[in-house]
Amino acid sequence: MRPPQSLLVLGGTSRIALATARRLIARRTRTVWLAGRPSPALESAASELRALGAEVRTIAFDALDPDSHEAVLGKVFAEGDIDMVLLAFGILGDQARDEREPAAAVRVAQTNYTGAVAAGLIAARALQTQGHGSLVVLSSVAAERARRTNFIYGSSKAGLDTFTQGLGDALYGTGVHVMVVRPGFVRSKTTADHEATPLTTTPEAVATAIELGLRRGSETVWVPGRLRLVMWALRHLPRALFRRLAE
Ligand SMILES: NC(=O)c1ccc[n+]([C@@H]2O[C@H](COP(=O)([O-])OP(=O)(O)OC[C@H]3O[C@@H](n4cnc5c(N)ncnc54)[C@H](OP(=O)(O)O)[C@@H]3O)[C@@H](O)[C@H]2O)c1
């Protein structure tokens, strides 16, 4: 599959999404929509991508307001074909606080799962109507197995991941490609050196993996790639042992 000419990012300030947009603009992408909560950060992300030569527009999008998603995505698709939708919004939450305050936990679930179900279904239908395109969804290694330290976030990503796999099956053979991306812990540039482990990654590495996954038409992408095997092994460990390892 060729790199997209047009890209819609849901979660327009996400550092992984912006690294991906920069990489795709360097290839072939000419039109970028950054959908997100209005903020100076969203506008400066748009300016940064414009400076790379893309035509960039921003549009207000709130994952926590699923009733508005139809209108927001409808407006974008009405302006022209979208070759790739990158579903990048998400919040980590704060596990300790979220356990104390269920309303905060619900916010994590509603952003990462419910919001993505609404936006994902609407994007998928729009891509199917135009007859081509990719829906790329940022899941997480945390979706693979529950951990004491982040199970609220992890369970929201597990729901998102399962949803995306099923959506991929539903769209198989329609000309629309669905890809789940499972990054490990993503370091920022400033912490890149001292937090590096074989299972951590960077936004730029995720962007590279997404581009490769698109070219291959992959359904699942792990970043770094070795996580696939590591998580396969961890998934089969007895709970008591995993509990101790994951502390
Ligand atoms: N960073 C990691 O270690 C890691 C690892 C695995 C998977 N992931 C996943 O990859 C995705 C992107 O991660 P990242 O590191 O690039 O995150 P990031 O830089 O923190 O960006 C998160 C994005 O989500 C948006 N967002 C949050 N709540 C929203 C809402 N209610 N409506 C619309 N947008 C909302 C934020 O927008 P605002 O600017 O409005 O806040 C921001 O654009 C996330 O889904 C994350 O869970 C991250």
Amino acid found at 63: A
**Mean pLDDT of all residues in the chain?**
95
> Span 67-74, mean pLDDT?
98
Give nearest CA residue, ligand 1 atom 1: 186
Residue-level pLDDT at 193: 57
Mutate to test the pocket of ligand 1, among 20, 62, 138 (most ligand atoms within 8 A of CB): 138
Cα 181 to chain centroid, rounded: 7
Mutate to test the pocket of ligand 1, among 44, 87, 91 (most ligand atoms within 8 A of CB): 91
Atom of ligand 1 nearest to the CA of 153: 47
Residue-level pLDDT at 145: 95
145 DSSP 8-state letter: S
Q: How far apart are CA 85 and CA 6, in angstroms?
A: 9
Distances (CA, A) of 207 to 5, 135, 182, 231: 16, 15, 12, 21
> With pLDDT > 70 as the criterion, what percentage of the chain qualifies?
97
Give nearest CA residue, ligand 1 atom 22: 14
CA 87 to ligand 1 centroid distance, Å: 9
Atom of ligand 1 nearest to the CA of 185: 3
Break the chain into its structural domains and give their ranges.
6-245
pLDDT tens-digit map of 72-105? 999 999 999 999 999 999 999 999 999 999 999 9
Atom of ligand 1 nearest to the CA of 89: 24
pLDDT band for position 213 (cuts 50, 70, 90): very high
pLDDT tens-digit map of 19-55? 999 999 999 999 999 999 999 999 999 999 999 999 9
Residue-level pLDDT at 198: 75
Residue-level pLDDT at 195: 64
Query: What are the b/e assignments for 158-175, b being 16+ CB within 10 Å?
Result: bbbbebbbebbeebeeee
Question: Is residue 124 within 8 Å of 137, Cβ to Cβ?
Answer: no
pLDDT tens-digit map of 57-67? 999 999 999 99
> With pLDDT > 90 as the criterion, what percentage of the chain qualifies?
93
CA 213 to ligand 1 centroid distance, Å: 20
Residue-level pLDDT at 1: 85
Q: Is the entire prediction scored with pTM above 0.85?
A: yes
* CB atoms inside a 10 Å sphere around CB 133: 26
Indicate if 153 belongs to the active site: yes
Atom of ligand 1 nearest to the CA of 183: 6
Task: Return the CATH number of the domain spanning residue range 6-245.
Answer: 3.40.50.720
Residues within 6 Å of ligand 1 by CB: 11-17, 36-37, 39, 41, 61-64, 88-91, 111, 138, 140, 183, 185-186
pLDDT tens-digit map of 148-205? 999 999 999 999 999 999 999 999 999 999 999 999 999 876 555 556 777 899 999 9
Q: Give me the catalytic one of 61, 89, 113, 153.
A: 153
Nearest to 33 by CA among 15, 54, 7, 4: 7
